[in-house]
Structure 1
Amino acid sequence: MGVTRIIALTLGWEDLPRAASVHGASRTERVREPVPGLLLEHDDGWLLIDTGFNTALLRDPALRRRFYPSPNYQPELPGPGEPIEETFAAAGIDLRDVTRVALSHLHVDHAGGLKHFAGRVPVHAQRAELDYGLSNHPEPERYAMARVDYDDPRIDWRLADGDTEIVPGVTALLTAGHTPGHQSFLVHLDGGGGYVFACDAADLTENIAHERAIGSFRGVTAEQTVAPIRRLKGIGARYGYPVVPGHDPIAWPALTAELAARFRS
C-alpha cells in the first residue's frame, strides 16, 4: 500500500542570495525560490508535509522587523489571504480532510502554518529538531525559527529518533545538517513509482546533481552536508525514484505541473 495522490503546493516565495542554498556560491547573485508544501493522500485522509509562513509575522510591521531583520532575505506571500487556505481551496481539498502533518524542520518558511492544525491532528517531527527549537533561545530565533510557530501546548507532537514510517508509503528520513533534526521523505505510490523529497537537505538541483554543499547548516561543516545528499541519491537509485530538491525555482513548478497531470481526476 502507498500514497494514492500527491499535490504540490506553493505557499510563498523567498528572494535570497544563491549562497544561502549553495555553499561558496555568489552572495550577490539572487534567486527567487518557492516555499513548498505537499499533500499526500493515503487510506486515512491527507498528510500535509510543511506548512509555509505564519502570515502574522509578515503582515505586522513590528513582527516582520523582528523575525525577518535581514534585508538579504525577502519573504513573499502568494496572495492576500492565508496560503494554506488558498492553496487548499484551489486544489479542492478541505482542511478538515488533513489527518496528519509532518514537518521537515522548524524554520519560519516550513512551520509557520502549524496554527491551522494545532489541537486537531498529530504533527510529526524529529525529537532533535524540537529539542533544538525549544532550547538556548535566542539562538534558534537567530537561525530563522520563530518559537511562536511551534511552542504551543495544543500541538500533538509525534517525535521520532531517526527514520520512521509516518503512514504506509511515507517514510521520514533523518537528514540532519541544515538543522539538527531536519528530515526528508521517501514516498511510495500505490501501484508503483514514487519520489524522494529532499526538502532543505538540498535546496536546488545543483546541490543534488553536482553534490554541492548546502549554504545554511547547524552543528556540522559545509562538507558534511553532502553526506545526506548522497544518501538520498542512493535511496532514489535503489527504488528508481527522482530526488526532488526543496526550493528549486525551475524544478518545483515543473513537478507541480507533472503531479497535476498525473493525478488529474
Structure 2
Amino acid sequence: MMMGNNRGEKVISTVCIPLNRLIMLSGGNMAISKNDAASLAPVNGTSHVEAVYEKVPSRYALQVGKIDVLVISDGVLSLPGPMLGHNAEASERTHWFEDKFLPADFLDWALNVVLVRSGDRTILVDAGMGEAFPDLPRAGRTVNRLASAGIDLASVTDVIITHLHMDHVGGLLIEGVKARMRSDLRIHVAAAEVEFWRDPDFSQVSMPPGFPEALRQTATQFLQAYQTQLHTFEEEYEVAPGVRVVRTGGHTPGHSVVRLASEGERLTFVGDAIFQVGFEHPDWFNGFDHYPEEAAQIRIRLLQELADNRESLIATHLSFPSVCHVAVDGDTFRCIPGPWDY
C-alpha cells in the first residue's frame, strides 16, 4: 500500500564520518493488509505523531495472519559493483550486471527495515543508516518515515537487530532518538554478535577503505549507548506471539533472521543473508560478509527452505519493498516478486 507520496520530505541534520572519497578511490502466503500504516498504531493512547509527507513511496503494509507488517525504505546505498560477487570472475560478474540492465561500477543497494505489530508488541526490525554518514546521502530515512506513517518512537516496545553493521543500527544513534524511546525498551540481539564486536574480524571482507573502522566505531557506540536495554539470546527467542528471531551466523557470527508465523501464513525477514545476486549465484560472496563461505552455505540452505515451504521473504538489500517468493531454478533459484497493491 503506497502512502504519503508526492509531497515534501523533512530533512534532518548530520554528524560526519566521511566515507565517500574512500569509496570512490576503491574503484508462506500473505495477504496484503486492508489497513494502512495506522493499523500499526502502538498500544498507548499517545502513539501517533503528525505525519511528515514525502516525495516518494517508501512504506508498504501487509499482513501475515494476524501480524501487521510495515516495510520501510531507509533509502539506498551506492556501493562499488565488484563488492557484489567479489569471488566471481570479473567477466561473469559484468555479464550478470548487463543482463539485469545495471551499471557494473556502482550499484544502488536498497536498504529496508520492518515494523511489526503482534499482540501488544510493536517491534522495529533494524533501524537503518542514521545521519552520521553524509557521504552516503540517500539513506538514513527510517526515523522520518516512521514519523510520516504516524508512528511515535515511544510506541516501539522492542527492537530486533539482525546484526550490528552501521546500516542496521545507525538510526538509533541519531541525536535525540534514545530520549524519545520508552524506558522499558528491549533490544534483542544475538549474544554471539555482541561478543564479535568486542574484537571484530575483517580478514575475509572485501570492503572499500574506511568501512571497517566506521563499522567498528558504530557498533561500539551502539553497544555503549544501549547497554542497559540489550536483551541477548543464544540461538533463538520469541519476541511476541508468532515473532521469532533466529541466529544464522555467516554474514556476521550473530547475524539473525526474523520469522513470522500466524494463522498458517509465514514470512521471513532475512536481513543480509540474501542479496541481489544471491538467487542466481548463491555461492557469490557479499563484500560485507565477515565469513563468506559460511554465509554462502547459509544462503543456499535458507533459499531452499523458503522455496520448499513456499514462504515469503523480505530482505534488507533487495529492491523496495522486496516482498517475494523463492523458486528453484535447476541448481539455483529465482526471486518471484509479490504483487504491488495499489
Taking structure 1 as the reference length, what is the TM-score of the superposition?
Answer: 0.76
Match of 1:75 among 109, 118, 136: 136
Partner in structure 2 of residue 112 of structure 1: 170
- Structure (1/2) with the larger helix percentage: 1
Equivalent position SS for 2:133: helix
1:227-242 to structure 2, matched below 5 A, reads 227-242=297-312
Residue 143 of structure 1 and its aligned partner are, at CA, apart by 6.9
Equivalent position SS for 2:270: strand
Partner in structure 2 of residue 168 of structure 1: 241
Q: Can you list the C-alpha shifts for 1:208-260, whole angstroms capped at 9, x where unaligned?
A: 34323332222x3x3332221123224324532123332023xx235399698
Partner in structure 2 of residue 65 of structure 1: none
1:43 aligns with 2:119: yes
Are the aligned partners of 1:2 and 1:170 in contact in 2 as well (CA < 8 Å)? no
* Partners of 1:234 and 1:136 in 2: CA distance: 30
Are the aligned partners of 1:232 and 1:243 in contact in 2 as well (CA < 8 Å)? no
Residue 130 of structure 1 and its aligned partner are, at CA, apart by 0.9
1:12 aligns with 2:70: no
The gaps in structure 2 that reach 5 residues or longer are 1-63, 95-102, 204-210, 325-336
Partner in structure 1 of residue 270 of structure 2: 198
Equivalent position SS for 1:180: coil
* Partners of 1:97 and 1:209 in 2: CA distance: 40
Query: Which runs of structure 1 show a deviation greater than 4 angstroms over 4 or more consecutive aligned residues?
Result: 117-120, 136-141, 256-260
Taking structure 2 as the reference length, what is the TM-score of the superposition?
Answer: 0.61
Are the aligned partners of 2:76 and 2:110 in contact in 1 as well (CA < 8 Å)? yes
Aligned-residue sequence identity (percent) comes to 22
The gaps in structure 1 that reach 5 residues or longer are 60-73
* Partners of 1:98 and 1:233 in 2: CA distance: 30
Are the aligned partners of 1:201 and 1:214 in contact in 2 as well (CA < 8 Å)? no
1:149 aligns with 2:219: no
* Partners of 2:214 and 2:254 in 1: CA distance: 14
Partner in structure 1 of residue 150 of structure 2: 92
* Partners of 2:202 and 2:106 in 1: CA distance: 28
Match of 1:247 among 304, 312, 317: 317
1:225 aligns with 2:225: no
* Partners of 1:244 and 1:254 in 2: CA distance: 5
Match of 2:278 among 165, 189, 207: 207
Partner in structure 1 of residue 330 of structure 2: none
Equivalent position SS for 2:235: coil
* Partners of 2:82 and 2:184 in 1: CA distance: 38
Q: Can you list the C-alpha shifts for 1:71-113, whole angstroms capped at 9, x where unaligned?
A: xxx52245xxx73331112222222221100001111100112
Are the aligned partners of 1:201 and 1:225 in contact in 2 as well (CA < 8 Å)? yes
How many residue pairs match? The answer is 238
Partner in structure 1 of residue 22 of structure 2: none
Partner in structure 1 of residue 108 of structure 2: 32
Partner in structure 2 of residue 68 of structure 1: none
1:131 aligns with 2:195: yes
Max Rg structure: 2
